[in-house]
Structure 1
Amino acid sequence: MLDTSVRLLELLSLLQLKRDWTSSELADRLDVSTRTVRADIGRLRSIGYPVDARPGVAGGYRLAAGTAMPPLLLDDDEAVAVAVGLGAVATRGLGVEETSLTALAKLEQVLPSRLRRRVEAVREATSVVPRAEPPLDLSVLGAVAAAVRGRERLRFGYTKSGGGEGARNTEPQRLVSWGPLWYLLAWDLDRDDWRIFRVDRMVPHAPTGARFRPRVIPEGSAVDYVIGRVSRAAWKYRARVLVHAPAAEVAAKIPIPVDIEMVDESTCHVELGSHDPDRLALWMAQLDVDIEVIDGDELAAAFDRLATRLHRAAGGAFTT
């Protein structure tokens, strides 16, 4: 006969396996009496598992949905499937990347080595259609996520955009997913300042085991801080424009943080930029508001080229 703790795990696994069980079925599977089954059901309820009971001679039990998520038991195949699925979702831009990555970090922390090898085998044997963005190493992403979640200092090698390499010693605060890329917002201990690192350029070293207290993130939001810094760093061309629309309306239409200054209730100044003024002009035209370029010759010239192309596309359709 199984001891109590092992029997409870087996009982929980059975309840998750199918929707309804009679008392006698559970008693037979566990090789105990129906009285013991009732006692074990009570123990499961006491630790948060919502088990419904049906009265009567043919009465039985069902694991129901509760107000809180209790721990789940997964067999080997299920654990591998969940790990692989979470890894795929974390890189697909579906809006749940951060949650998927957190769950993946928790799961991989407790996976036995034999299952970790199976997960890695699936990843290594899987190919995807190449994209312009660099491939993402999920083992690196998982290591960084584990350090963030565990509030553990993280040391890693880092390749800068220019190709230079160096070692960093950080307090990792937050991971931010933006499009196909992941960024780490961290406090750089050597530079005594905030820094943003692209995860695909990181090579984590062995865990340090050193804990830290989270710091107050600048601007209150890791997303706003990372996107603002990364956007400005990437701008090759800058411009300032007068937008004939309320500041709140313009802010709602622009998906990234930019500097918006209200002029009056119906106009505002916007300072923004891009590495490609022609794409910026096309994107701003899609805001569907009147715009005047105040400062930014490259953007003004791009608007002129766009207007010429649009006029040429219309041809003689509007001539009389």
Structure 2
Amino acid sequence: MRDDTVATTWRPDELLGGPFESTPVGGGTLVRSATAPPRPRAVVLHLHGYNDYFFQDHFARALEAQGVALLGVDLPGAGRSLRADQIPHFVTDLREHGPALTAAVHAARAAAHGVPLVLHAHSTGGLLAALWAHAHRGRGDVDALALDSPFLDLHASWLQRTLGTWVLDAVGPWSPTAVLSTTPSVYATHQLATNGGRWDFDVRYKRPEGQPVRAGWLRAVRRGQARVARGLAIDVPVLVARSDRSGPDVATNPDLDVQDTVLDVAQIARLAPRLGDRVDTLTVPGGVHDLLLSREEPRLRYLTGLTGWIDDVVTGSKP
């Protein structure tokens, strides 16, 4: 899938290398594969999460084998789009990401040449994508939304979720960059190939030590999650996928490789129906937080479920 009318500055991608290319779009960065089908039956635009960026080249290859093209976007402040004067991933309102996401969607739509466009989003990106799709209902920007372990609620006790949110509402506006937590990401550490994991990624953009959680950012997330809790009206089909189990993100957890150690999968299951009237769910036994980074069996189960859903709900055809 090559469409140089979308952008005229496609260059070899410095992070993934050949056959991937990237270009600036709307303050973010769009990434494509030169080996994508020239006439795909669908296009998927992937949106990363927090402490994350687009590096899942295996996702592109898996979709290409099914006749589907993949684009990835790094939002402003993340991955390829991070500038020296920016705090990584920091916003005080999730709507600040709206223009960059809209620009990426419009570029992907132009490249799709009339075939269906699916917005695929992970974790915090899943929360952002759901809120964006609700705000953009009726516009036909995307044809479907696929959410990989979306961050629909805070993985914490009831007391922390309620009293903690009140504190955030008081502190966030006055000290938005105050650091609330600097907990290392055992999950990211465990995934990294140099630590014995499966995946190679740039630790500048997906940090094993984690990204500091700041008051203004977490307040923005909690306000977005409150909007989900009240119910959204997304007007395109939605797929919500998750692992079957959650567990602690600690090095002593023997099930780090078969659990979501970042979010509470029960919360995801409970809140998924509130996204819209056409919500399907997919449970992936043995999946980790980012289902695309799971062991081979659950990863293939997720990819099969995702492409099957695209066939059934979006394209109405199989390769």
- TM-score norm. by structure 2 comes to 0.21
> Per chain length, whose mean CA-contact separation is higher, i.e. which structure has more relative contact order (CA < 8 Å, sep 6+)?
2
Larger Rg: 1
- Which structure is higher in helix share? 1
- Which structure is higher in strand share? 1
- TM-score norm. by structure 1 comes to 0.21
